[in-house]
Amino acid sequence: MKPLLQIIIAAAGLTAFTLSTEKDFLSSNTSYAHQQLNHMLTETATRDSLAFPRTMDSAGRMTTTSMYDWTPGFFPGSLWYSYEQTKDPAIYQQAIRWTEKLEPLKDFTQHHDLGFMMYCSYGNAYRITGNKAYRDILIQGARSLSTRYNPVTGSIKSWNAFKSWHGEQKYFYPVIIDNLMNLELLFFAAKETGDTSFRHVAVSHALQAMKNQIRPDYSSYHVVCYDTLTGKVLARETAQGYADNSTWSRGQAWGIYGFTMIYRETKDPRFLKTATGMADWFLNNKNLPADKVPYWDFNAMQKGYTPGVRSYANKVTTKYRDVSAAAIVASALFELSDYVAPAKGAQYRKTAISMLHTLAGPAYRAPEGQNGNFMLMHSVGSIPHHTEIDVPLVYADYYFMEALQRYQSSL
Ligand code: GLY
């Protein structure tokens, strides 16, 4: 190999791999993803046309949700990535079909997840097709999401109510760390319309999350509950993590990805510092397994961490992995690597590539036609709720595909 090429490949974080083996890796994974998605499309044809793939039941069959759950955007989003990767016109038609089913969501205001629901579907659709009708639907979706903002709390309300795992206490202005992901829709609407109020809402929410949701060591709380009269924090608890003071792995992943995206949109160095702080906390954590696929919570079953009395986490003795968190982090690191100093960027990129290889290996990637036709195995939806434990999840596949796409575009 010529020295210059060696230097370029090393800087790109490819020291252990050659460009041609990486191209083969990408092409075999994108072709695998295309096949799994086609199997899933065949299965969806046997179901209600408004049933959106989510996970798998104990018999190995795909299970679905309605479009009003938080995950309907991920299947159309994966179809868009597959179209980008294969240019298959049949996948293009299916991506349009599955995206357009979600049009009613543009007026939905009952929870905060509109960013996930619309930006992964219509956002990719608009990016790839340039169809102005999709842009207008996204902007209306951003208006609907903005209705959940309150200037007193400076935040978007995630759920209408949250019941503590400790007893009967209910909170009526809960904000969860996942909500950072929904801000991308608002940044998009601000740029498209010139209406700065969308950006104001997004930045205010991000600053409040940075202040109240992230601990000084850059680990994170899952749920922060606000008082709407004073704007003060009433409680910091968990909904899907092990304990209030623990760090739920997917929550940390949403934070890494979310603050990276917020830095991209604002160029405010405080957000970059938070994104790198959270990434370093995740990657350097002594509780992160060697293959960098985290346990579902960094502090599960550890001394000093106690689940609420009603939480199913009290009954679980297995330290399940959460592959979805690893897929989100791998995708985020590809982007974050572009925003930091070259040496640190090369390290993030190398980590992202090696995580992607791990996810695509036999321990986590299902054989074709199995796993309910989802790609990745071993994710966790919510142990406290006793749901979706050690299963495939549609969003793990989406961020896996996004990471493949980010890697492919960067070669
Ligand atoms: N946004 C919900 C979750 O990550 O499970």
Q: Which atom of ligand 1 is nearest to the CA of 178?
A: 1
Nearest Cα to Cα of residue 211 among 229, 231, 230, 240: 231
DSSP 351-365: HHHHHHHHHTSTTTB
Handedness of CA 8, 10, 13, 14 (dihedral sign): positive
244 is catalytic: no
CA of 89 to the centre of ligand 1 (A): 32
Query: Is residue 82 within 8 Å of residue 91, measured between CB atoms?
Result: yes
Ligand 1 site, residue 388, Cβ cutoff 6 A? no
To test the pocket of ligand 1, the residue of 178, 297, 323, 385 to mutate (highest count of ligand atoms within 8 Å of its CB) is 178
Q: How many domains does the chain have?
A: 1
Task: Output the CA 174–ligand 1 centroid distance in Å.
Answer: 14
* CATH (domain of 151): 1.50.10.10
Active site residue 113: yes
Measured in Å, residue 3 CA sits from the centre of ligand 1 at 45
pLDDT in tens, the chain (411 residues): 334 444 444 455 555 568 889 999 999 999 999 999 999 999 999 999 999 999 999 999 999 999 999 999 999 999 999 999 999 999 999 999 999 999 999 999 999 999 999 999 999 999 999 999 999 999 999 999 999 999 999 999 999 999 999 999 999 999 999 999 999 999 999 999 999 999 999 999 999 999 999 999 999 999 999 999 999 999 999 999 999 999 999 999 999 999 999 999 999 999 999 999 999 999 999 999 999 999 999 999 999 999 999 999 999 999 999 999 999 999 999 999 999 999 999 999 999 999 999 999 999 999 999 999 999 999 999 999 999 999 999 999 999 999 999 999 999
Ligand 1 atom with least separation from CA of 116: 1
Other C-beta atoms closer than 10 Å to the C-beta of 84 total: 20
Pocket test for ligand 1, best of 74, 112, 254 (most atoms within 8 A of CB): 254
Q: Which atom of ligand 1 is nearest to the CA of 382?
A: 5
Is residue 178 in contact with ligand 1, taking CB distance under 6 Å? yes
Task: Say what the pLDDT of residue 15 is.
Answer: 54
- If one counts every other C-beta atom within 10 angstroms of the C-beta of residue 101, the result is 17
Residue nearest to atom 2 of ligand 1 (CA): 178
Task: Please tell me the distance from the alpha carbon of residue 367 to that of residue 360, in angstroms, as a whole number.
Answer: 10
End-to-end, the C-alpha distance of the chain in Å comes to: 17
Which listed residue (88, 107, 113, 268) is catalytic? 113
How much distance in Å is there from the Cα of 40 to the middle of ligand 1? 22
* Per annotation, catalytic residue among 48, 88, 178, 280: 178
CA count, 13 A, side-chain hemisphere, 38: 13
Q: For residue 389, give the nearest of 330, 298, 313, 333 by alpha carbon.
A: 313
pLDDT at 107: 98
From the alpha carbon of 251, which atom of ligand 1 is closest?
4
Cα separation, 278 vs 331, whole angstroms: 15
Residue closest by Cα to atom 1 of ligand 1:
178
- The C-alpha torsion from 18 through 20 and 21 to 23, rounded to 10°, is 120
CA of 169 to the centre of ligand 1 (A): 22
Q: Is the CB of 250 under 6 A from ligand 1?
A: yes
Mutate which of 240, 297, 388 for ligand 1? The one with the most ligand atoms within 8 Å of its CB, which is: 240
Provide the domain limits for residue 242: 3-410
Non-local CB neighbours of 160 within 8 Å, separated by 6+ positions: 110, 111, 172
